[in-house]
């Protein structure tokens, strides 16, 4: 049995539609990488020529603005695929993907993926649904940026980090972003993010333990987000 057949994370992506023979073919042509924290998987403007399947670890998808600020568009977790939009549109990557922790990533070449796309209707439909989901998330984020205050966006992001990535055994957010990265997610200056975190800490909604964050009053935090 191939490693692709045994891989649990493929059940969370478009790859779950592939049959045994397709998985065997994919196992023969894929390349596995270990990406260290802070290293790029690919960079904005790069031709990816395939897709990346995240096996372990978390990365950020971000875009560098004209003023040099790193705007984080999405956080990517195990089971997610990267590069499918630019592969199908035959365009360079619109975003950079950088590891937030040590990662295990598999690269599947475009030639193989496009064969699956043309021969397996369930796979092609799943892939298109995934791209549509990304577009919906981008629409929601654009509306939040336009209609919500920075404090509301920060509250919503903290809830998202807990509900998506969970807490450690001490109740702290498992995924600990730097203040700069957190500011990049909510579209504000790092100084403003630090000030708002301090306000939430003083009001007892969160607890700051060094650089780490613990959500203390989730009901109040959700009220702030909404």
Structure confidence at residue 224 as a pLDDT band (50, 70, 90): very high
Cβ atoms of 61 and 95 closer than 8 Å? yes
pLDDT at 174 over 90: yes
DSSP conformational letter for 14: G
Cβ atoms of 103 and 59 closer than 8 Å? yes
Q: What is the pLDDT of residue 207?
A: 95
Q: What are the pLDDT digits (tens) for 83-128?
A: 888 888 889 999 999 999 999 999 999 988 888 888 888 888 888 8
Q: What is the pLDDT of residue 218?
A: 93
Structure confidence at residue 131 as a pLDDT band (50, 70, 90): confident
60-89 b/e (C-beta count within 10 Å ≥ 16 → b)? bbbeeeeeebbbbbbbbbbbbbbbbbbbbe
CATH number belonging to the domain at 148-225, selected among 3.40.250.10, 2.30.110.10, 1.10.630.10, 1.10.10.10:
1.10.10.10
Count how many Cα atoms sit within 13 Å of the Cα of residue 39 in the half-sphere of its side chain.
11
Q: How many CB atoms lie within 10 A of CB 103?
A: 24
CA distances from 104 to 53, 127, 176 (A): 9, 21, 19
Residues of the chain above pLDDT 70, percent: 94
Mean pLDDT of 208-215: 94
Q: What is the pLDDT of residue 220?
A: 95
In the chain, residues under CATH classification 2.60.120.10 are: 3-145
Q: What is the pLDDT of residue 9?
A: 57
Q: What are the pLDDT digits (tens) for 6-40?
A: 665 556 567 777 888 888 888 888 899 999 999 99
Q: What are the pLDDT digits (tens) for 52-81?
A: 999 999 999 998 877 777 889 999 999 888
Structure confidence at residue 192 as a pLDDT band (50, 70, 90): very high
Measured in whole angstroms, the distance separating CA 6 from the mean position of its chain's CA atoms is 23
Cβ atoms of 183 and 189 closer than 8 Å? yes
Mean pLDDT of 163-191: 92
Q: How far apart are CA 176 and CA 174, in angstroms?
A: 6
pLDDT at 1 over 60: no
Per the prediction, the chain carries an average pLDDT of: 88
Q: What is the pLDDT of residue 11?
A: 60
Comparing C-alpha atoms, which of 178, 170, 215 is closest to residue 194?
178
Q: What is the pLDDT of residue 25?
A: 82
The CATH number that domain 3-145 falls under is 2.60.120.10
Give DSSP secondary structure letters for 16-83: GG--HHHHHHHHHH-EEEEE-TT-EEE-TT----EEEEEEES-EEEEEE-TTS-EEEEEEE-TT-EES
pLDDT at 157 over 70: yes
In the chain, residues under CATH classification 1.10.10.10 are: 148-225
Q: What is the pLDDT of residue 2?
A: 45
């Amino acid at each position: 049995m191939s490693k692709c057949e045994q891989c649990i994370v493929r059940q969370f992506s478009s790859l779950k539609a592939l049959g045994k023979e397709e998985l065997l073919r994919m196992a023969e042509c894929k390349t596995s990488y270990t990406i260290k924290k802070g290293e790029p998987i690919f960079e904005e403007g790069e031709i990816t020529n395939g897709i990346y399947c995240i096996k372990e670890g978390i990365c950020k998808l971000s875009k560098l603005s004209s003023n040099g600020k790193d705007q984080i568009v999405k956080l990517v977790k195990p089971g997610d695929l990267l590069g499918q939009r630019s592969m199908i549109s035959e365009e360079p990557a619109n975003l950079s993907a950088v590891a937030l922790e040590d990662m295990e990533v598999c690269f599947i070449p475009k030639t193989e993926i496009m064969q699956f796309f043309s021969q397996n209707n369930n796979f092609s439909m799943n892939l298109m649904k995934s791209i549509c989901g990304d577009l919906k998330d981008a629409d929601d984020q654009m509306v939040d940026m336009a209609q919500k205050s920075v404090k509301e966006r920060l509250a919503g992001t903290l809830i998202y980090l807990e509900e998506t990535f969970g807490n450690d055994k001490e109740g702290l957010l498992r995924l600990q972003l730097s203040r700069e990265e957190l500011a990049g997610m909510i579209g504000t200056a790092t100084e403003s993010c630090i000030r708002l975190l301090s306000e939430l800490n003083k009001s007892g909604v969160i607890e700051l333990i060094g650089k780490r964050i613990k959500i203390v009053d989730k009901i109040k935090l959700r009220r702030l987000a909404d």
